[in-house]
Amino acid sequence: MSAETLSLDLRAPQYPLVHRRLANGLRVVAQPDSSAPLLAAMVCYPGSRRDPVGRSGFAHVCEHLAFDGPRDAPGGPYPARVEQAGGSCLAVTTSDRLCFSSIVPRREFRMLLALEAERMARPLACDDAAALDVQRRVVLAELHERSATRTRALAFEALQRLLFAPGHGYHRPAAGDAGEVQKVSVEDLAAHALRRFAPAEAMLVLVGDVAAEQALDAAEEAFGHLSPAAANPETGDSPVAFGEPGSARRPAPLSEPQAYVAWAVGGQGSDEACLAALLARALGQGRSSPLALELVERAGLAREVNGHFLPMQDASLLAFSATAARDVDGERLMQGLLQAVSALAGRDASPESLARARKKAVRDFYFATQSFERRADLCASFAGALDAPERLADEPRRLLDAPHEALTAFAARLGRGEAPARLTLVPTQGVAA
């Protein structure tokens, strides 16, 4: 099936986009969409990769403190004010970004911008040790719950430790390390937090029912008076550096072992990232995928397989995973996964599997962009990685047009050349089968 035929099958509306930097350094991205009388706003700051050395989890703690805002904020807690306006809000910390995301009725968008400008000007009280203690306990509880239930998140954190050198921010878990979270102090907040929440470090993305020029004017009115502030020169990050991919074995709350093999590939928006997104789907996603037919149907080693692609700014992560069939141990499963991925990657991808991967990738893209909030997140990702949020609109065409020969060569390089990171998760003692 040709790319042209696929594009006709998967057409979707395109939305205009404007991108401007205010005088104080704040990047503003606006994408009007009048399909619903709503507006999604996302304000992004540096993520965990910029945590101070020895304070992994600093961004996560700051997220919790700044989400509610200072306890003496004149208008009350920030989330309550958004909810009072008929909206909803959340916050998330990743390696690349710390984001505050809200969606409100269109008529409330100026209120929301004023609130986010207030948060940028005074995100937290740096001398409030009691508030820090409360939120530190919440973060530590989240980390404990994560280790007890969120197997996939733990797997990807372990893979990033194997793939990236210790000096790079991707080596550290985005949510933080419990021991280092314990060390975060009010002095750390005073030294680093306010520099993180500054226009020169931030990006505002608006998606929804507001005209582009109106959105830009409102952003200038709400944020233009804020001081740009200097970027913090003391960060825990360094230029991207890859480790020597190794192997690890970890206990996890599972009933059967899981095995992962992974590679670090090009950053978001790169040609290599596009090929990796297709390869994950071509080889590993779905019951009819080549990896499922090999490990589940033919060899009987796995009851489930998957392909994973995690885009990040400096380098992305491509992985394949397998969950063991009954009575298959972790070592045997890992050996089978390595052999299957190597063999499949070394073959010329069939036109059928590539067409299926293209369809899945473009379907996933269009499904995500139907949500204002998710589209804002994608705009922020491309703006952060490439300083070109308009590249978002090109993604379907790039996925459809990626040459068959390029994908085959990329897969062969992984299958025959670069050794992957290898992670085996084994059931924690006492977990029921």
pLDDT tens, 165-191? 888 899 999 999 999 999 999 999 888
Tens digits of residue pLDDT in 80-113: 999 999 999 999 999 999 999 999 999 999 999 9
Per DSSP, what are the bridge partners of residue 43?
Answer: 100, 204
Mean pLDDT (the chain) is 89
Least confident of 201-205, 293-297, 412-416: 412-416
149 burial level (CB within 10 Å; 0-12, 13-18, 19+): exposed
Give the residue-averaged pLDDT of 125-134: 91
* 3-state helix vs strand vs coil in the chain, percent to 5: 50, 20, 30
Q: What's the rounded mean pLDDT across residues 205-211? A: 96
CA nearest neighbour of 417 among 273, 263, 242: 263
Q: Which residues are CB-contacts of 100 (< 8 A; sequence separation ≥ 6)?
A: 42, 43, 66, 67, 89, 90, 91, 116, 119
Residues 49, 104 contacting (CB under 8 angstroms): no
Q: Give the separation between CA 164 and CA 310, rounded to whole angstroms.
A: 14
Alpha-carbon span 111 to 158, nearest angstrom: 41
| C-alpha to C-alpha distance for 409 and 400, rounded to whole angstroms | 17
| Confidence band, pLDDT 50/70/90 cuts, at residue 238 | low
Question: Is the torsion defined by CA of 153, 155, 156, 157 positive or negative?
Answer: positive
Domain boundaries, the chain: 15-223, 247-427
Q: Does domain 247-427 have CATH number 3.30.830.10?
A: yes
pLDDT value, residue 241: 53
Would you give the end-to-end CA distance of the chain in angstroms? 44
15-223 under CATH 3.40.50.880, yes or no: no
Alpha helices in 52-190 (DSSP H): 58-68, 78-84, 109-121, 129-149, 151-163, 178-181, 186-188
Residue 40 burial class via C-beta count within 10 angstroms: exposed 0-12, middle 13-18, buried 19 and up: buried
In sequence order, the β-bridge partners of residue 164 are: 242
| Contact between residue 392 and residue 6 where contact means Cβ atoms under 8 Å apart | no
Q: Which secondary structure element, helix H or strand E, spans residue 382, and what is its range?
A: helix 372-386
Domains 15-223 and 247-427 share a fold: yes
Is residue 28 over pLDDT 60?
A: yes
| pLDDT score at 346 | 83
Per-residue confidence at 1, pLDDT binned at 50, 70, 90? very low
Cα–Cα distance measured from residue 124 to residue 195, given in angstroms and rounded to the nearest whole number: 12
CB 282 within 8 A of CB 356: yes
The predicted-structure confidence for 364-392, as pLDDT tens digits, reads as follows 999 999 899 999 999 999 998 888 888 88
User: What's the pLDDT tens digit per position in 251-302?
Assistant: 988 999 999 999 999 999 999 999 999 999 999 999 999 999 999 999 999 9
Q: Which of 59-68, 230-239, 344-353 comes out lowest in average pLDDT?
A: 230-239
pLDDT reading at 4 higher than 60: no
Q: Is the CB of residue 85 less than 8 Å from the CB of residue 78? A: no
Of 136 and 190, the structure prediction assigns the larger pLDDT to 136
Q: Region 215-235: what's the mean pLDDT?
A: 81
